Amino acid sequence: MSLEVDLPWHLQSVPNVAGASSLLSATGRSDLIILGLVNNMPDSALAGTEAQFTEVLRAASGGRHIKLRFSSLPQLKRGSAAKERMAASYWSLDSLLASSLDGVIVTGMEPGMGHLSSESYWPDFISLLQFAQSHLISSVWSCLAAHAAVLALDGVERRRLSEKQSGVFTFGVSSNDPLVAGLDRSIRTPHSRWNEIDGCALQQAGYTLLSHSPEHGVDAFVKRESGLMLFFQGHPEYQNLTLLKEYRRDVGRFLRGENMEYPKAPAHYFESQTLRLVDEFQQRVLQGPVAPPVEEFPFASLADGIDDSWRYSAARVYGNWLNHVAEIKAERAV
């Protein structure tokens, strides 16, 4: 198994640029899958998101060779450090879509407006969505990108939750779809979101629910029109400490006065013996005469013992997705 982060040709070494034509001719092989990761996460999560999807795709790759190309929606505001990072390894969106792609994974983006269709990136997002439908074998839409896609495709609106849904939740696998082949009847998936899409609305619009629960709603769903489109409300790609990092970030936002309510700890995530550390730090913040700085947040102690129990099911679903991409690619090559 292998996964290679594929740089734009103008950033590759001279020997690789000289071999560009051989790369193009190789894209017909069904054991070579070329994917784009359109990483729209904020600057602080840019590198982490790259690592998460690289890791889960490597675990899911089987015997295939995967080339992964990074890109991002151009309208998103970036700081100087993120721009420098992207200049060293990212394809422009135009060059990515003009290259030989089999599939694309699109991540969420931090909202800045009251409605997704009012965001500055919306026209580029629509163009990307239409391109994926008409030119690619398949696409994956993660978290907020899933919300934006179903809004654009079928007018399915998301709704605001009363509190953030953060934690590792159990979902029933409710379909015989090949994408969930080999999974147990229930799986655990990390979620971190303020909004949700109603499962009944999705089904009425022609989507198939792959995993959901009465308490926590829809986890994964799929639609097969103009190519297979796979959607995740959650984050099966998350690494074991990702939710902990987000929780520390939210605590920091409270300490700086950016949020008015102290964040709830991610549910079903910490071991019972470490939950007291969460409570103790919260009490120091809320009841002490002077709030401790975020640097005193007990990150290392909380990290000890956190496992990634969802990683098997994540690799399995992405492996099934890669199987689909490879099968369709092989059929088209005949």
Q: Which CATH superfamily is domain 2-238+308-333 in?
A: Class I glutamine amidotransferase (GATase) domain (3.40.50.880)
Active-site pick, 191, 212, 216, 237:
237
Question: pTM score, two decimals?
Answer: 0.92
Respond yes or no: is residue 147 known to be catalytic. no
Active-site pick, 143, 191, 212, 246:
143
Q: Quick one: which of 180, 54, 32, 171 has its CA closest to 105?
A: 54
For residue 172, is pLDDT > 90? yes
Respond yes or no: is residue 143 known to be catalytic. yes
For residue 15, is pLDDT > 70? no
Q: CA dihedral in degrees (204, 209, 232, 2; nearest 10)?
A: -130
Q: Could you report the per-residue pLDDT of 64-102, keeping only the tens digit for each?
A: 999 999 999 999 999 999 999 999 999 999 999 999 999
Q: What is the pLDDT of residue 324?
A: 97
Structure token pair of residue 142: 């993660």
Exposure string for 274-285, b = 16+ CB within 10 A, e = fewer: beebbeebbeeb
Q: What is the pLDDT of residue 300?
A: 96
Q: What is the pLDDT of residue 30?
A: 53
Q: What is the pLDDT of residue 225?
A: 83
Q: What is the pLDDT of residue 105?
A: 98
pLDDT band at 29 (very low <50, low <70, confident <90, very high): low
Mean pLDDT score of the chain, rounded to an integer?
A: 92
The average pLDDT across 259-284 equals 94
For residue 151, is pLDDT > 90? yes
For residue 26, is pLDDT > 50? no
Q: Quick one: which of 329, 286, 171 has its CA closest to 235?
A: 171
The average pLDDT across 129-145 equals 97
For residue 22, is pLDDT > 50? no
Q: How far is 151 from 236, CA to CA, in rounded Å?
A: 22
Q: Where in the chain is the domain with CATH 3.40.50.880?
A: 2-238+308-333
The answer to whether residues 211 and 220 touch, using CB atoms and an 8 Å cutoff, is yes
The average pLDDT across 234-245 equals 97
The answer to whether residues 106 and 145 touch, using CB atoms and an 8 Å cutoff, is yes
Q: What is the pLDDT of residue 129?
A: 97
Q: At what angle do helices 122-135 and 144-154 cross, to 10 degrees?
A: 80
For residue 113, is pLDDT > 90? no
pLDDT band at 1 (very low <50, low <70, confident <90, very high): low
Q: Could you report the per-residue pLDDT of 290-330, keeping only the tens digit for each?
A: 899 999 999 999 999 899 999 999 999 999 999 999 999 99
How much of the chain, in percent, has pLDDT values that exceed 90?
A: 83
